[in-house]
């Protein structure tokens, strides 16, 4: 990978430490709260087990749509990836992000995809930046529109959290812009990676935006299915609200798998739409299982079988 500017390394290291610290504090708070609730009720009827399997399957479909979106971003930026690599490395990236800090899965995708797609590593980084911007844009739309719309039905106790999370995201974006503008080395390093983002303002970009809305609709259906697996029914609008709330909290720097931040938001969301404390704990346990365990297992199997495992990855990054 092209060397990171000396100024950027401390910032990246600081961000990783900050994220882990936030995760530890948030996760400790969630665990402290959960231990004071009734024991979680896991799926035990055929219908609930089927709902859990459905949630895992929906998340798998969601991953396929994300993979196709990344494949199209790469092609549009002049890369020549094989579709099997786009799909496989998307899964690998999620798996690595779930167990390692500092978005290591994104780094793995860059290192492993660039030579296979006959593209520079900066080009691949640019497509991942475009991915993130698409997701953040759609999530903020869902968060503000669906979140505020549903508060009239679930009460106003979540307003403060919505305002807080929105303020954190906006403040983080403002700080990032100021840092890039003031530091010429960082600006020169980042500028070549924005070409994929610039291309989103086109007919091709409109298709990618539509795909991104599809991604989050499918994800919401998976979260609704998780609710059904623990006997907690929710409407489609409530599912969108829950996903949007948790995803905005996930934008806050955190450790692997958005530990702590996404958990806290999920608990807040479940309580906001009428769930009890015990229901929130049950939901959180099964959500973590459905969204993290299968894709992590599949991702590391692909990493080992197709890309030489972690040892090969470390050698490629050296």
What are the tens digits of pLDDT across the range 174-223? 666 566 556 666 656 665 566 677 677 777 788 999 999 999 999 999 99
Q: Average model confidence (pLDDT) for the chain?
A: 82
Report the pLDDT value the prediction gives residue 3, as an integer from 0 to 100: 40
Among 60-74, 113-127, 153-167, 190-204, where is mean pLDDT lowest? 153-167
Say yes or no to pLDDT of 225 above 70. Answer: yes
Question: What share of the chain has pLDDT > 70, as a percent?
Answer: 77
Q: Please name the helix (run of DSSP H) or strand (run of DSSP E) that holds residue 200, with its range, or none.
A: none
pLDDT in tens, 231-249: 999 999 899 989 988 888 8
pLDDT in tens, 250-285: 877 778 888 888 999 999 999 988 899 999 999 999
Q: Is 276 helix (H, G, I), strand (E, B) or coil?
A: coil
Q: How many CB atoms lie within 10 A of CB 10?
A: 9
Size of the chain, expressed as the number of residues it contains = 318
Please report which confidence band the pLDDT of residue 15 belongs to, taking 50, 70 and 90 as the band edges. low
Distance of alpha carbon 268 from alpha carbon 274, whole angstroms:
10
Task: Give burial (CB, 10 Å; 0-12/13-18/19+) of 24.
Answer: middle
Task: Give burial (CB, 10 Å; 0-12/13-18/19+) of 89.
Answer: buried
- pTM confidence score: 0.82
With contact defined as beta carbons under 8 Å apart, do 95 and 296 qualify?
yes
């Amino acid at each position: 990978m092209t060397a990171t500017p000396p100024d950027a390394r401390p910032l990246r290291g600081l961000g990783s430490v900050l994220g882990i610290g936030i995760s530890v504090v948030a996760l400790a708070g969630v665990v402290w709260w959960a231990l004071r609730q009734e024991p979680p009720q896991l799926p035990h009827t055929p219908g609930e087990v089927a709902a859990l399997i459905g949630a895992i399957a929906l998340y798998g479909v969601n991953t396929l749509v994300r993979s196709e979106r990344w494949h199209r971003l790469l092609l549009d930026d002049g890369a020549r990836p094989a579709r099997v690599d786009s799909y496989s490395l998307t899964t690998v990236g999620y798996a690595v992000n779930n167990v390692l800090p500092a978005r290591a899965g994104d780094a793995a995708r860059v290192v492993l995809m660039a030579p296979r797609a006959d593209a520079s590593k900066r080009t691949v980084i640019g497509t991942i930046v475009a991915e993130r911007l698409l997701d953040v844009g759609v999530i903020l739309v869902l968060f503000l529109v669906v979140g505020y719309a549903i508060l009239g039905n679930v009460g106003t106790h979540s307003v403060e959290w919505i305002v807080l999370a929105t303020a954190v995201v906006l403040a983080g974006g403002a700080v990032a812009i100021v840092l890039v503008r003031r530091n010429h080395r960082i600006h020169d390093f980042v500028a070549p990676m924005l070409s994929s983002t610039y291309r989103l303002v086109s007919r091709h970009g409109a298709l990618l935006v539509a795909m991104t809305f599809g991604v989050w609709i499918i994800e919401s259906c998976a979260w609704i299915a998780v609710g059904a697996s623990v006997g907690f029914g929710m409407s489609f609008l409530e599912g969108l609200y829950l996903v949007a709330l948790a995803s905005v909290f996930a934008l806050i720097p955190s450790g692997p798998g958005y530990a702590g931040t996404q958990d806290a938001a999920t608990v807040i969301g479940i309580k906001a739409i009428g769930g009890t404390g015990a229901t929130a704990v049950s939901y959180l346990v099964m959500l973590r299982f459905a969204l993290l365990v299968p894709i992590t297992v599949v991702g590391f199997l692909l990493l080992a079988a197709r890309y030489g495992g972690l040892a090969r990855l470390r050698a490629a990054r050296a």
